[in-house]
Chain A
């Protein structure tokens, strides 16, 4: 039986299910920048006065779980379908961030091989003053059996 998407949306969307603290390490995001091919010293040189993480770095910050603990196991093969970042403020060396996660969207697409369910998990990242610095979305696709 196909998953009832409207039921999942009503029960799980926009309900926070995870909170994680991160201490941002400038050496780690420097390595990320270099591996990605960034050349701007503000991303690669720790001594640069504007040293900061590339905007996409927040995709590497992972919560304790991707879905709520009571989210049902869907019948199908699960894959990472994509990442989205919404940048709001610089992330810098030594910052302490709090990441709060919720399911931001649940939707389906139907192709030749059947229906696929997409789950968008959004981690909202805040600094210690409560400034919203970024949203990091993970899109998981489940190809229904």
Chain B
């Protein structure tokens, strides 16, 4: 497993990406809500989210998708994400530790593209978000 890759020749089929711990803190989500959007109570207040039936405040899905993109860019700074699909299976809870893992599932050296499966899991190792991405590298 390479911490950083620069070209497609650096990547092996089945390789795992370095794990990434996204910032799910309430401060980060509040700041996101203030500057980007999704600043309503279910995202920025545990109390309001509980009243709406959630276990606590939840991370906006658009930010969870952003976490996946950031993980890819940290591992492959020269990569261009061509397609990224994100499936929201269960809420990502604010102030709860989560980890993102990824694995290379296909390499197309003719097209210089790589496919990756990416998963956000909580502390109980339960999948919250699952994604697939196609990236293009030099």
Contacts and interface: CB of A to CB of B under 8 A. Distances in A.
Nearest to A137: B85
Contacts of B73: 38-40, 43, 54
B61 A57 contact: no
Interface residues of A, number: 29
A32 B32 contact: yes
Interface stretch (B10-18, B20-28, B105-113): B20-28
Chain B interface size range? 20 to 34
Interface stretch (B44-52, B64-72, B119-127): B64-72
B55 interface: no
A36 B87 contact: no
Contacts of A62: 37
A43 B73 CA distance: 10
Interface in B38-95: 61-63, 65-71, 73-74, 77, 80-88
Given A35-B23, A37-B70, A86-B83, A56 B65 contact: yes
A63 to B, nearest CB: 14
Contacts of B87: 81-82, 139
Contacts of A32: 32, 35-36, 63, 66
Interface of B: 20, 22-23, 28-29, 31-32, 35-37, 61-63, 65-71, 73-74, 77, 80-88
Interface of A: 27-28, 31-33, 35-40, 43, 54-57, 59-60, 62, 79-87, 139
20 contacts: A28-B35, A28-B36, A31-B31, A31-B36, A32-B32, A33-B66, A33-B70, A35-B36, A36-B69, A37-B66, A38-B66, A38-B73, A39-B74, A55-B80, A56-B65, A56-B81, A59-B65, A80-B88, A84-B84, A87-B80
